[in-house]
Structure 1
Amino acid sequence: MAVKGLGKPDQVYDGSKIRVGIIHARWNRVIIDALVKGAIERMASLGVEEKNIIIETVPGSYELPWGTKRFVDRQAKLGEPLDVVIPIGVLIKGSTMHFEYISDSTTHALMNLQEKVDMPVIFGLLTCMTEEQALARAGIDEAHSMHNHGEDWGAAAVEMAVKFGKNAF
C-alpha cells in the first residue's frame, strides 16, 4: 500500500520567479522538520531560490489557518507578497476525540482559506493513526519508509503558483 506521490506532471515548472511561504506547527517537531526539509529541497530542484522561501511557525496544527492568513497578510504589507503558501502540520490519533475535531476543523479552515487569501494554499497536514505512519510519510522510518510527503507539497506549490498564481495570467 505504498503511496508514490504526485508523479511527474506533463510539464516541468520553473519556480525561479515565485515566492513561497511555509508556515509549520512546532508540535511533532521531528516529523515536521523532515517534511519542511523535503518541501524545500523539492522546490529548490524546481528553481525556487532560497531567498524566496519564507518560513514561519505556529505552536500547533490548529493554529495553522489563522497563522497562515496573518502570515500572508504580513508579507503583502511588507511589500514581499507570496505566490503560494504551504501550511505544514502533523496530527496523530490518540485515545480521545481530540484528533477528529482538530483534523476536521483545520482541514476545512485551510480549504476555505484559499478564497480569503486569493492564492493556492497547499494542504500540508498529515493526519495519521499512529506515529509510525507519520514517520513513514515523512520519509524517516527506515523500516517502513514511504517517500517524504513534503516533497509532494513543494512540487504542488510550484505547479500551482506557476499555472494559477497571480502572475500566471
Structure 2
Amino acid sequence: MSGAGSPALQVHAPDVRVAVVAASWHEVVMAGLLGGARRALADAGVRPESVTEIRVPGSFELGVACARVAPAYDAVVALGVVIRGGTPHFDYVCSAATDALSGIAVATGTPVGFGLLTCDTEEQALDRAGLPGSAEDKGHEATTAALATVLALREAGHPRGASGTRD
C-alpha cells in the first residue's frame, strides 16, 4: 500500500488480538515503524491488553516468530527493514522474509501485516518509517491493513474464535 492509489482504510477493531513482531536492526527506522503500528492500533480502538510486542534480532527472524504466534492471535504485524548493501545478502534476506511471511498468512489463516521495508538507502527507509518529516508511515499502513483484513474475513463469515482457532 504505497503512494497513489492506496486505500484510505479506517477500521474499528476493539476486540482484535494482535501480535506486533519487530526486528531490532536500524533502531531509528524501527522506532518509527513501531510508533506507526502503535498509532494504528490506538486509532482502531484495539485495547492495549490485546497487543503483544515481540522483538527479534533482524528481519530474517520475523518469519519464525510470526509463525510461532500466528495461531494465537487474530492478526500479526511484521516490522523490519533491510537496506541494500554491496553483497547479495539483501536479496536473500528480503526474499526469505517475504516468502516466510506470506506463507504464514496462507498456512494459518491469520492476516499478517507486511511492514518490511526493503530499501536501497537509509534515506529511503527513513522516508517510509513514519517519523516526523517522513513521506509515508509503513508501520501504520501494515497494521491497518492487517486489522482491515481481520474485519473483512469476519464480515465474510470467517471469524476466528477467542482461543485463536477458527470457528
TM range (shorter): 0.7 to 0.9
- What does 1:116-127 correspond to in 2, within 5 Å? 116-127=107-118
1:19 maps to which of 17, 20, 37: 17
List alignment gaps of at least 5 residues for structure 2.
161-166
Change (3 A) 1:139 1:13: closer
- Aligned residues, how many? 157
Name the CA distance, whole Å, in 2 between partners of 1:152 and 1:15. 15
Q: Hey, what does 2:8 align to over in structure 1? A: 8
Change (3 A) 1:4 1:44: farther
Name the CA distance, whole Å, in 1 between partners of 2:112 and 2:33. 16
Q: Do the aligned residues in 2 keep the contact of 1:5 with 1:152 (CA within 8 Å)?
A: no
1:100-120 CA distances to partner (integer Å, 9 max, x unpaired)?
Answer: 111111111111111222211
Q: Do the aligned residues in 1 keep the contact of 2:23 with 2:30 (CA within 8 Å)?
A: yes
The normalised TM-score by structure 1 is 0.84
Change (3 A) 1:4 1:53: farther
List alignment gaps of at least 5 residues for structure 1.
74-80
Tell me if 1:107 matches 2:98.
yes
Tell me if 1:167 matches 2:149.
no
Q: Hey, what does 1:51 align to over in structure 2? A: 49
Name the CA distance, whole Å, in 2 between partners of 1:4 and 1:59. 33
The normalised TM-score by structure 2 is 0.85
Q: Do the aligned residues in 2 keep the contact of 1:4 with 1:146 (CA within 8 Å)?
A: no
AA aligned to 2:45 is: G
Name the CA distance, whole Å, in 1 between partners of 2:62 and 2:103. 13
AA aligned to 2:52 is: I
% of aligned pairs identical? 34
Deviating beyond 4 angstroms after TM superposition, the runs of 4 or more aligned structure 1 residues are none
Name the CA distance, whole Å, in 1 between partners of 2:19 and 2:159. 16
**CA-atom RMSD in angstroms:** 2.0
